[in-house]
């Protein structure tokens, strides 16, 4: 273990599956203590047990303002008043690369990208960095289910990706570790794309 996040504390929302779980695992591996969060308390407890004593489960529905405040309050209590890693958004390559029939998704991710940049310039004076990760296709339960039903062709997606494979939650977790570590201390307001070269390759 490199311990790049040794002694740090983090809140990782949506961290009981998929990319969020990949990020939580990477943070714990690098020495951080992590709040595991989703709406389901049983899922949070199960994931925290898997991650070990560095993980603290706090279930909360982040669509509700009071629940967001409770999550923040309980996280501070769990970590003696300090949370070091919080504002790394998970966006998508579709924040900059438009796909047909995905209007709402593309627009929401583009909005998240701009929110990241505005928050970064507003909060920099307080020493808070705000960045986002923009993954391409990632091997999550959602992508697996779409592939199983024939909605997506996983092998075709891999062939379309210049690096010849789609991403994994673990690889996105490594990007999140970089953005949370001292190595990125002069980086804020950035959208870091991790898509295996998909968006750089313009030929469909």
pLDDT in tens, 23-73: 999 999 999 999 999 999 999 999 999 999 999 999 999 999 999 999 999
Please report the sign of the dihedral spanned by the C-alpha atoms of residue 161, residue 162, residue 166, residue 171. Answer: negative
Going from N- to C-terminal start, the domains of the chain cover 1-86, 93-194
Active-site position among 27, 105, 137, 201: 105
137 is a catalytic site residue: no
Q: How many of the other CB atoms lie within 10 Å of CB of 110?
A: 16
Query: What mean pLDDT value characterizes the chain?
Result: 96
pLDDT score recorded for residue 2: 62
The yes-or-no answer to whether 1-86 and 93-194 have a common fold is: yes
The pLDDT tens digits of the residues spanning 134-153 come to 999 999 999 999 999 999 99
Residue 174 has pLDDT above 60, yes or no: yes
Assigned CATH topology for domain 1-86: Rossmann fold (3.40.50)
Whether 91 contacts 113, CB under 8 Å: yes
pLDDT score recorded for residue 202: 73
CA–chain centroid gap for 196, Å, is 17
pLDDT score recorded for residue 203: 61
DSSP, collapsed to helix, strand or coil, labels residue 191 as strand
Kindly state the average pLDDT of the residues 170-199. 98
Residue 91 has pLDDT above 70, yes or no: yes
Q: How many of the other CB atoms lie within 10 Å of CB of 131?
A: 24
Least confident of 13-22, 42-51, 195-204: 195-204
pLDDT score recorded for residue 136: 96
Which CATH superfamily hosts domain 93-194? NAD(P)-binding Rossmann-like Domain (3.40.50.720)
Q: Which value, to the nearest 10 degrees, does the dihedral of the CA atoms of residues 112, 116, 117, 122 take?
A: 130
Question: Closest Cα to residue 20, out of 138, 106, 105?
Answer: 138
Q: Which residues of 158-176 are buried (b: 16+ CB within 10 A; e: fewer)?
A: eebbeeeebbebbbbbebb
């Amino acid at each position: 273990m490199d311990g790049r996040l040794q002694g740090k504390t983090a809140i990782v929302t949506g961290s009981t599956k998929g990319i969020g779980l990949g990020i939580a695992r990477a943070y714990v591996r690098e020495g951080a203590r992590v709040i595991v969060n989703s709406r389901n308390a049983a899922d949070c407890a199960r994931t925290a047990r898997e991650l070990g004593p560095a993980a603290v489960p706090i279930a909360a529905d982040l669509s509700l303002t009071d629940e967001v405040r409770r999550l923040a309050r309980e996280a501070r209590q769990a970590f003696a008043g300090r949370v070091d890693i919080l504002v790394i958004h998970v966006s998508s390559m579709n924040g900059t690369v438009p796909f047909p029939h995905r209007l709402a998704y593309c627009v929401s991710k583009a909005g998240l990208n701009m929110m990241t940049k505005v928050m970064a310039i507003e909060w920099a004076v307080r020493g808070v960095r705000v960045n986002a990760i923009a993954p391409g296709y990632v091997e999550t339960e959602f992508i697996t289910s779409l592939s199983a039903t024939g909605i997506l062709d996983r092998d075709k997606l891999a062939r379309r990706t210049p690096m010849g494979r789609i991403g994994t939650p673990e690889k996105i977790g490594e990007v999140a570790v970089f953005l949370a570590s001292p190595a990125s201390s002069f980086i804020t307001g950035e959208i870091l794309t991790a898509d295996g070269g998909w968006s750089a390759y313009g030929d469909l």
